[in-house]
Amino acid sequence: MIDLATLKEFLNIGDENSDSFLLKVIDMASSKLAGMCNRELNYGTRTDIISGSEESIIYTDNYPVDRILHIKYRGDTGGFTGDVLRGNPMNDNIYLDRTNGMIILLNGYTLPAGEKNIQIKYYAGYTIDAPVNECELPADLKSAAMMIAAEIFLKGFREFPYEYGGRLGLRHYQHILRDGTNESSRIFTYKGEDYSDIINRYKKTRI
C-alpha cells in the first residue's frame, strides 16, 4: 500500500539507517489495517474454498476483484480438478462486479453441491497503478496505512534526534532529573489515533 520512499519522506528521514526496520513497519501496518477491515487489502492472488449448493451467485472473500483465474470443484481424487465452466471462456460465462466481488455464473452454469468443494482463484485488492480502476488504491486508505506505519515507528523504542518532539500521538512528555545523582527518566504518554471513519468505509460487512 505504501512504499519505503514515501514513508521516509513522510517521516522526514533522509538516511538509510532505518530502512530494514521501516520495511518491517510497512508490513506490520498493512497487516494491522487488514485486520481492522477484516479482509486482505493489498493487491495479489487470493484463493477461496466454499461449499456449493447449485447456486449461480458467489461472493469472493476479498475485493475489489481484478479478474477471476478459475472456478474449480473437487474431482474423484479429492483435488480441485473439475472446471465449473467445463473449459469454456471465463469472460463469456460469468458476470463480475469488481467492486464487491460478486460473481454471477451465466448460461445455466451452477456450483456443484458439496461441502467445501469449490475453489475460486482470483486477483483482488488495492495497489498503485492498478490494472483496473476498481483496484486503484484510494487516497484515504493510503493515508490510513501511512499514519499507522508512522505510529508504529514513532512509538517504537528507537533512538533519533529530538525524540520527544517527533513522536506521533504524544500527549504528555516528562523528563525527571533526580537531585544529587546523574539519574534521569523520561515518561511518554500517548493518545491512540482514530481511524474509525476510514475503517468503516472499507470494513468487510458480510460473513
Q: pLDDT tens, 38-48?
A: 889 999 999 99
In whole angstroms, what is the distance from residue 29 CA to residue 185 CA? 30
Do the Cβ atoms of 205 and 59 come closer than 8 Å?
Answer: no
In whole angstroms, what is the distance from residue 52 CA to residue 92 CA? 21
Grade residue 201 by pLDDT with cuts at 50, 70 and 90: confident
Give 193's contacts (C-beta < 8 A, 6+ positions apart). Answer: 147, 148, 151, 168, 169
Grade residue 181 by pLDDT with cuts at 50, 70 and 90: low
Sole residue written with cell 526496520: 21
Question: Hey, CA dihedral for 59, 61, 63, 69, is it positive or negative?
Answer: negative
Select the more confidently predicted residue: 196 or 48. Answer: 48
17 by Cβ neighbours in 10 Å (0-12 / 13-18 / 19+) ranks as exposed
Grade residue 165 by pLDDT with cuts at 50, 70 and 90: very low
Average pLDDT along the chain: 86
pTM score > 0.85 for this model? no
Sole residue written with cell 520512499: 5
Grade residue 154 by pLDDT with cuts at 50, 70 and 90: confident
Task: Give the domain ranges of the chain.
Answer: 4-41+136-202, 44-124
Distances (CA, A) of 15 to 74, 113, 117: 53, 58, 52
pLDDT beyond 80 at 207: no
Grade residue 187 by pLDDT with cuts at 50, 70 and 90: low
For 95-127, what is each residue's pLDDT tens digit? 999 999 999 999 999 999 999 999 999 999 999
